[in-house]
Structure 1
Amino acid sequence: MSSETQQPGTPPNFWGDMPEKEYYASQGVTNTQSYFETPNGKLFTQGFLPLDKKVKATVYMTHGYGSDTGWLFQKICISFANWGYAVFAADLLGHGRSDGIRCYMGSNSIAQDNIRYMWGSSHGDLDKIAATSLSFFKHERLSEPYKGLPAFLFGESMGGLATMLMYFQSEPNMWTGLIFSAPLFVIPEPMKPSKVHLFMYGLLFGLADTWAAMPDNKMVGKAIKDPEKLKIIASNPRRYTGKPRVGTMREIARMCQYIQDNFSKVTAPFLTVHGTADGVACPTSSQLLFEKASSEDKSLKMYEGMYHSLIQGEPDANANLVVKDMRGWIDERVERYGSKKSDD
């Protein structure tokens, strides 16, 4: 189950002690929060709607590893809502306020049997985790207010990996387009899990799969450029701060390879953006997607010298440039494809 620890004196939200309803109103949006029941566990979900604009399309957002839909990630959601989009987001299983072992995404079948025995249910396997979020997204996508509108999937970092899996699991024409922010499709060499470690832990017949025993290689420091924003991100009480779990790193490496092998199956319009100094997800993640995807409408933006967290972790001038590019891309696609209703 989810857990969070609030340090004494720490404000409940990154903006301070202002009541949530008041803060969201000051940002020009309404916010709803609820739990979505699935066969794999409960998902914590959020919705962001523009206060004074007609909804022209919907966007379904997935956060990165160790993060959640609250704290700074929701600033991305609020930006899109301010442009006239209905935004829906869910904490991935094992993250934030959703069910599951914290940041566990293992897929080893022997491990699953052992973990179910010890924990009751593991909620592992990234393909299943993606399918669980997708079940919520499709529930909203096909609901009466939104079923006739253009619909976009958005994924940041490892959330980009999960988003691509959701796209592959979806019916044709379900999604008008895809947006990726520094997606994790190719792991940088210094971040790759040691094959020796994985082999040795594998000899334990899966019992080590949930162990938080893999080197973390200081991921946060490689992701956030702005030191003040790093402090804010580090104060998130729901952020996972333990070492990566054995099964998680094995599964991420496995699914990255799977996505690389299937780039050509991407046919939807997409935008992918990446910083050239990204030390967490190789910039080649976006470059290879752009080169190998079969989409006729595809866009790639590379930002010189920017780190991994393009919107949450860069100085404002840099982050605003990325957000501006995203707005230009999605507004143009809504205008271009808005009259074409998806085949539901």
Structure 2
Amino acid sequence: MPPEPPPEQPSPAATETPPNFWGYGPEEEYYKSQGVRNKKSYFDSPNGRLFTQQFLPLEGPVKATVFMTHGYGSDTGWLFQKICIRFAAWGYAVYAADLLGHGRSDGLRCYLGDMEKVAAAEPFRDLPAFLFGESMGGAATMLMYFQSKPDTWTGLIFSAPLFVIPENMKPSKIRLFLYGLLFGIADTWTTMPDNKMVGKAIKDPEKLKIIASNPRRYTGKPRVGTMRELARVCDYIQSNLGNVTAPFLTAHGTADGVTCPTSSKLLYEKGSSADKTLKLYDGMYHSLIQGEPDENADLVLADMRAWIDQRVLIYGSGATVFVD
């Protein structure tokens, strides 16, 4: 009996990671098919160069601006931009940047250092201005809000924000103390447990494949300094939730295994805003928009659209801007 031929090896093209989450199609054509236009640029901040993106509707006026911040290990150039695209298609000017240490921005991969350094933004002229933060980006967004002048922001939107670190993900205080004895030398070490966060964040297996194929996604263990900083920032945010007076919407899945729903519940309970909304989605995981089946993601997006459209009507001046 002749030996079986060796299995065919896939061609390089078949195993190559596409340059975009939608595949190999030109970026301009994809954005146009979604009803938006995209512009990329770099911004020189005092702490390093930031990669930024702007999403604008192809047609119609701009009703307000939304400044979006992604989560840990992610960036604005892969599936997170689906959120940016949807808001832009609804008539919003969306601005997003890769956090320091993420994506195409400067910095050691997934090393936050001092999160105060990334918490800076400016409102866009006279239109209503909103902040949007997902996961760890929710913590960065809250810092931006606390550092802004009163009445800078028309409203805040949070998707599974990180304000409370779940018990099974809390860094050991003894471990952090021992690392601290090394006078900062250990801060960049990737020695903290990751607890398989990606698997706990994404419910849809096909979307998990797409997210896992992101060539800029950080896949290493959390750095010592990152976990120390997140613990510090979460404590700070929890102590200052009573100072949140802007209208806000915070959304969480009840089966979130990365940032527990306690974060959103605590904001709703302690926030001083007279206009506050808490949305809990039964059985949904951490990534409400990027990782859930389409019908679930569309439900979350519909709730967010209804909320922001109504706040523009309530708190906006009625002004709109047409873009060239």
TM-score strictly above 0.5: yes
Deviation at 1:302, TM superposition (A): 0.4
Partner of 1:162: 140
Cα displacement (A) at 1:196: 2.4
Distance in 2 separating the partners of 1:320 and 1:309: 13
Residue aligning to 2:20: 13
Residue of structure 2 in register with 1:275 after alignment: 253
Residue in 2 aligned with 1:31? Answer: 38
Which whole-Å CA distance do the structure 2 matches of 1:38 and 1:288 have between them? 33
2:101 to 90, 94, 103: 94
After TM superposition, the structure 1 = structure 2 runs for residues 71-150 of structure 1, keeping only pairs within 5 Å, are 71-105=78-112, 124-131=113-120, 134=121, 138=122, 141=123, 146-150=124-128
State yes or no: 1:336 paired with 2:317.
Answer: no
Quote the Cα distance in structure 2 between the aligned partners of 1:41 and 1:322: 34
User: What is the deviation of 1:194?
Assistant: 1.5
> Which residue pairs with 1:114 in the alignment?
none
Q: Are 1:242 and 2:220 an aligned pair?
A: yes
Match of 1:206 in 2: 184
5+ long unaligned stretches in structure 1 = 1-6, 106-123
Q: Which residue of 2 aligns with 1:183?
A: 161
**What is residue 9 of structure 2 aligned with on the other side?**
none
Question: Residues 143-174 of structure 1: CA distance to partner in whole angstroms, max 9, x if unpaired?
Answer: xxx41110100000000000000000101111
Mapped pair 1:232 → 2:210? yes
Q: What CA deviation, in whole Å up to 9, does each residue of 1:240-281 have, x standing for no partner? A: 111000010011011101100100000000000000111111
Question: What's the offset of the Cα at 1:185?
Answer: 0.3
For the residues of structure 2 that align with 1:60 and 1:161, how far apart are their CA atoms? 14
Q: Tell me how far 1:317 sits from its aligned partner.
A: 0.8
Moved >3 Å (runs of 4+): none
**Match of 2:230?**
252
Partner of 2:129: 151
- Amino acid in the other structure paired with 1:243: K
Tell me by how many angstroms 1:339 deviates.
1.5
C-alpha distance in structure 1 between counterparts of 2:30 and 2:318, whole Å: 36
Letter in 2 for 1:95: H
Secondary structure of the corresponding residue to residue 39 of structure 2: strand
Partners of 2:64 and 2:28 lie apart in 1 by 23
**Alpha-carbon distance in 2 for matches of 1:53, 1:228:** 34
CA distance in 1, matches of 2:252, 2:300: 9
2:239 counterpart of 1:261: yes
Deviation at 1:221, TM superposition (A): 0.7
CA distance in structure 2 between the partners assigned to 1:51 and 1:23 by the alignment:
12
Match of residue 193, structure 1, among 171, 174, 180 = 171
Give RMSD over aligned pairs: 1.4
**Identity percentage of aligned residues:** 77
SS in 2 for 1:101: coil
5+ long unaligned stretches in structure 2: 1-13, 320-324
How far apart, in 1, do the equivalents of 2:166 and 2:45 lie? 34
Query: Would you say how many aligned residue pairs link Structure 1 and Structure 2?
Result: 307
Residue aligning to 2:60? 53
1:182 maps to a residue whose letter is A
Number of the residue aligned with 1:322: 300
Moved more, 38-47 or 187-196: 187-196
- Counterpart AA for 2:55: F
1:22 matches 2:29: yes
The structure with the largest alpha-carbon Rg is: 2
Q: What residue in structure 1 maps to residue 288 of structure 2?
A: 310
What are the superposed Cα offsets for residues 30-77 of structure 1, whole Å, 9 maximum, x if unpaired?
A: 000000111111100000000012101110000000000111000000
Distance 1:82 1:183 in 2: 24
1:272-298 deviation digits (Å, cap 9, x = unpaired): 000011111110100010010110110
TM-fit CA distance, 1:340: 7.8
Q: Does 1:43 align with 2:76?
A: no
TM-score (norm 1): 0.87
Return the letter of the residue paired with 1:83: W
Aligned residue type for 1:197 = R
Q: How far 1:200 moved relative to its partner?
A: 1.9
Separation of aligned partners in 1, 2:48 and 2:230: 21
d(CA) in 1 for partners of 2:150, 2:188: 35
Number of the residue aligned with 1:218 = 196
